[in-house]
Structure formats: C-alpha cells, structure tokens
Amino acid sequence: MLNKIIANILPYMPKKLIWVFSKRYIAGETIEDGLLASKLLNEKGIEVTIDILGEFIRSIDEAEQNKNEYLEVIERFTNENVVGNFSLKPTSFGLLIDKEVCYNYIREIVAFAAEKDSFVRIDMEDSQCVDLEIELFRKLRKEFPKNVGLVVQAYMRRTKSDLEGLNDLNSESAPLSFRLCKGIYVEPERIAFKGYEEVRANYLADLKYMFENKMYAGIATHDKYLVDEAIKLIREMNIPKSMYEFQMLYGVTPELRQSIVDEGHRMRVYVPYGKQWFGYSTRRLKENPKMAQHIIKALFIRG
C-alpha cells in the first residue's frame, strides 16, 4: 500500500527526482544514447527494438517531426549494423487527430525500413486505439508482409478474437508477427481481465493459439511463471526457434533475461530513448509500484 501511495505521488514531483528511477529503464535522451545501449546489448548476444519516446501528440506538426526522427533513426541504426528493429506508437503520428495522415507517415517509415531489409512493430495502446491500430496494421501488412508486426495485450478480453480475425493474413512464407504482452493501460473490467491469474491464463491461451496457427510470437514478459510455461509449450509443441523470441524491457529483470539467453533462446530488449521520457517512466512506476522503494533507497540511503 505504501509503495502504491509513493508511486501515485512521484509523477507530481520534480523531473530530476523521477530521473533517479528512470535512468535504469531508459537509454537516454539522444540517438547516440540509444545506439550505445543497443550496441552493448548486441555484444551480449541480445537483439533490440528501438522506440523513440512520445505519444498522444496534440498537433500534426509534431507527427511530421516524429516521422522524420524515425527515418533518421532507421538510417543510423541500419548503417551502423545494429542487430534489431523498430517499434512505434501510432498516437505519436496523429492517430487520434487524423488517421489518414497517421497512416501515410507510418507507411513511409515502414517502406523505408523495408528498403533497409528491416522491420517495424506497431505498439498497441489503450482501448480507444485498438480498432484503429488493427486497421492500420492490416493495411500495412498487405503491402509489406515481411516488414511489419503488431502488439497484442493478453489482459484484453478481445485479444483471442483479434488474433482469429487477423489469421486470414497469415502465410507460411510471411508468418504474422505479434508481440504478446500482458498490457499496462487502465481499462474497465468489462473489456479487460483484472485478476492476476486470469491475465496469466489468458496470456498462455493466446500464446498457444499463436503457436497452433504458426504465427511468430514475441513472448514479452518479466513474469518467471509465464517464461517457464512458455518454454514448456515450446518444448511440448516442438516450436522451432525461428518462430519465437522472448522480449523484455530495458533494465528490467536482467538476471531472468540472461538465464533465458543462456538456455539458447532468442532475446530482444525494448530500448526506449528520447526527451519525452517522463510519461513513460511514470507509467512504468504505476505498473509496478514496488519500484518506488528503489527510488526511496536511491534518495535517502545512497544520497
């Protein structure tokens, strides 16, 4: 309870205070910071997905700026042979302002990634965005079947039917690629599972469906139970290593991450950077209030 109280108060505190918490989970503010963090992970045999922080913009001018920044990032990271791909949030490109402009900007990014033989994953956001983001993905997938993927959230009651609805796009030569995560946005119970075990059960059911239908699975979790159960499914269903990977957030559960790598599984780390780090940090904090105690220790024990 104390951790939750602290987690709810901290977002209203000075940014310098929040940075004490944030610097472990964010590569930095600049493209150079993102490159350095990514190369260090590559040296450990870990791939990356790069995310420029920022979402829910207020003007289309911001959307164009974000598009140009992503084009620059793809150019730099591919030219410097970073082993990884790219993630983006459609609200950073005006999804809730003008969905056609948003589509055109993201299409330009995906097309450029395709030229570089790379890949872009569309992040899933809160419930007001789900249908729009699936529609966006469907259009892009038809044109760039090997260069675009989507995130799905296990706590949403609709996820299984969304996977079923997209299965018509699947093919052996270009399997559908999904990152499966639990989900972090606060949603009403009528559309989202709330119980911890409920979310876990739905996660595994969604993952099994993906395996059964030969979809590529990005198993995104820091929950050791889900990691263990996923590995059991992989073994029981004889899933080839070419059809899945594990994914984790930068700076989170590094020991568990390394144990998965040591077992020979492919690992990808989500590397966020950018000047808009504050919203991302406070969301991570609300998702896991136990992190608050680490901030307090940093401030009052280590000074």
pLDDT digits (tens, 9 = 90+) for 173-185: 999 999 999 998 8
Q: Show contacts of 184-192: CB within 8 Å, 24+ apart.
A: 184/283, 184/287, 185/125, 185/126, 185/127, 185/153, 187/126, 187/127, 187/155, 187/156, 191/127, 191/156, 191/157, 191/158, 192/127, 192/155, 192/156, 192/157
Gap between the Cα atoms of 5 and 23, Å rounded: 22
With tokens 């395996």, the residue in question is 211
Gap between the Cα atoms of 300 and 139, Å rounded: 52
Helices 277-287 and 2-9, axial angle in degrees (round to 10): 170
Helical ranges in the chain per DSSP H? 2-9, 15-22, 31-43, 60-79, 99-115, 130-143, 159-166, 196-212, 224-236, 254-262, 277-287, 291-300
Residue 244 φ then ψ, to 5° = -160, 165
Type of residue at 110: V
Instruction: Enumerate residue ranges in the chain where pLDDT < 70.
Output: 1-11, 13, 281-303
User: Is-contact 89 55, C-beta < 8 A?
Assistant: yes
Looking at the whole model, is its pTM more than 0.85? yes
Active-site option among 51, 121, 123, 206: 123
Gap between the Cα atoms of 93 and 96, Å rounded: 9
Bin 64: left if φ > 0, else alpha if -120 < ψ < 50, else beta: alpha
Q: What pLDDT is recorded for position 215?
A: 98
Q: What pLDDT is recorded for position 56?
A: 76
Residue of 67, 51, 154, 62 lying closest to 103 (CA atoms): 67
Has 157 been annotated as catalytic?
A: no
In the chain, CATH 3.20.20.220 sits at 27-149+157-273
Gap between the Cα atoms of 262 and 39, Å rounded: 19
Q: What pLDDT is recorded for position 74?
A: 98
Active-site option among 121, 141, 179, 268: 179
User: Is-contact 267 257, C-beta < 8 A?
Assistant: yes
pLDDT digits (tens, 9 = 90+) for 198-212: 999 999 999 999 999
Three state DSSP letters for 178-202:
EEEECCCCCCCCCCECCCHHHHHHH
Gap between the Cα atoms of 87 and 6, Å rounded: 30
Has 284 been annotated as catalytic?
A: no
Tell me the CATH number of domain 27-149+157-273, given options 3.30.70.1060, 3.40.50.150, 3.10.20.30, 3.20.20.220: 3.20.20.220
